A and B are shown apart, each in its own frame.
Chain A
Amino acid sequence: MQKLSPNIDDKVIYVGLKGFSRYSDDNALSLDEIKELCKSKKVFVALNRVVEFDKIKKVVRELDCEGFIINDLGAIWKIKRDKELDNKTITSSVGLNPLNYLDIQFLEEIGVDVVVIPPEINDEVDCLSKTGNKIKIEAFEFALVEMFYKGKCLLSAYFDGISVKKSGICTKRCCRKWNVVMDKTVKSKSFKPKAIKFDVEKADLLKVEGRQFRSLNLKNLKGGNRYG
């Protein structure tokens, strides 16, 4: 479970599975720990590193939990086509980077129940879903707005050989001091993520991004339905 989770005592909690969730495994739980939690709580499990479907399928079969957060279109599609697995609530990770209503429509068609949208499109929430759509939209109430859209950054992989998508770790190369060079240096700049609190009234669920913080004051945030 995320150690900083404000929902730790709630009936519904969100946890990462070691080896499968983004960012550090330090805050993730083992399969057995999650199974134990599932006996008393509604548990959603983040499997938001990109791995081949056979590995995802094994975990989804084994865990009797409420749902999963998944970062691979194909894995979501296959889970929802499998009669043994299709009762799980599936949240598509922000790493899938939906940007418009056609994306949301497509995610619903392949079986996504809840879609996490990038914070950059928070002000478009009410134009993302058509009336009658069952898919729920989850928006960041608090997020790090990064150099690139979440799910569209290969800097860690390019410079350090560590894939955010596959290894779940970001080496934060964007935070370096970069010289903007034409014939000579014209400016220095860092693309450090900006922590922004949003006012998102129309989303179905609110999410607080906290995985990259060591401490965070959540008192002023009304949502916190999810903390990831």
Chain B
Amino acid sequence: MVELVTNVPTLEVLSKCSVEPYDAIYLGNPYCWDYDGNLISNFNDLEVAIEMLKEMGKKVYITTFAAPRNADLPKIFKLIDKALELNVDAIESTNYGVINYIKKEYDFRVHAGGFTNIYTSATVELLENLGVERIMPAYELPIEDIEKFKEYDVEIEVVVHGKIPLGISHNCFLLEFKDDVGMDCPHICKQEIWYKSDDLVLKPFGNATLSGKDLCMYEHIEKLNELNLDAYRIESISERISYREMVGKIYRKRLEGGFIKEDFEKLKSLAKYGICNGFYFNKAGQIYVGGLDG
């Protein structure tokens, strides 16, 4: 059975929602060290969160900062040491320098995230050669390209639902608006802030800018199932607390049962600016291709 995973940024979020539908959890917000309560910056909270998840029988993965400069590396090294000490199941990174470091120094299980620049079979072969256990292909790859990666001995994880990152910047845009919004770091990013230009929508979130629409593969899950992938991710890092529980339950039912129209309608209602398919069907990422529901 494919693993259903999501991400949880803080202990507060973990404490207030059920992660029961999920097999594994990525802990921490990879887009900002200073995010209030971020588990990759608060080791006491991290320890509690890991303990809670282990008691629930969940696999625990630790994420790392998505765009580490030299100054970020000492913090990442401490996080890696802590993750090993707390016996987590894997560390996720989108930085090939960090990935290489973890494999060489610790030979620990690594998941290469969606912004690691994994576009080609040659790169998958390189990562396989490094010993990377799981990859997330570049977000903008269609299903047929992802399928080619199946010939390598690496697990493949893809996003099935949620807002995908569309860009990583070297600073947080939200801080530019702190006077306009009347809020400063770390409170400003807990607000729902959007960029809108006609019908185009984006969601700024720390050093990342996310899709305004929710990627949704609920109708098309059989197409992904045909690839026999290893993990499906529900991206919920920027969402309100109840989102990950509701969406997780719906996808768990979908994986174990079938298409339920009411569930699909619920997913649509949770997406303030609509749903899209991302890049799976070789179209612009914001387009939604209808499936079972017509």
Contact = CB atoms under 8 A, between A and B. Distances in A.
A165 interface: yes
B120 interface: yes
B48 interface: no
Contacts of B279: 157
Contacts of A105: 97, 100
Contacts of A216: none
A100 B73 contact: yes
B202 interface: yes
Interface string A132-151: 00000000000000011101
Interface stretch (A21-29, A35-43, A120-128): A120-128
B56 interface: no
Interface residues of B, number: 53
B168 A180 contact: no
B100 to A, nearest CB: 4
Contact of A51 (B96, B120, B140): B120
A53 B122 contact: yes
Contacts of A185: 196
Interface of A: 50-53, 72-75, 77-78, 95-106, 109-110, 118, 120-121, 124, 127-128, 147-149, 151-155, 157-161, 163, 165-166, 173, 176-182, 185-187, 189
B284 A178 contact: no
B22 interface: no
B126 interface: yes
B97 A100 contact: yes
Q: Classify the secondary structure of B's interface with A.
A: mixed
Nearest to B202: A178
A160 B279 CA distance: 11
A110 B117 CA distance: 15
A154 B256 CA distance: 33
A160 B209 CA distance: 17
Contact of A186 (B167, B177, B197): B177
16 contacts: A73-B117, A78-B126, A102-B95, A106-B97, A121-B69, A124-B70, A127-B70, A128-B70, A147-B167, A154-B139, A157-B140, A157-B285, A165-B138, A178-B197, A180-B177, A180-B193
A21 B71 CA distance: 33
A173 B285 contact: no
Given A163-B140, A181-B194, A50 B120 contact: yes
Nearest to B276: A158
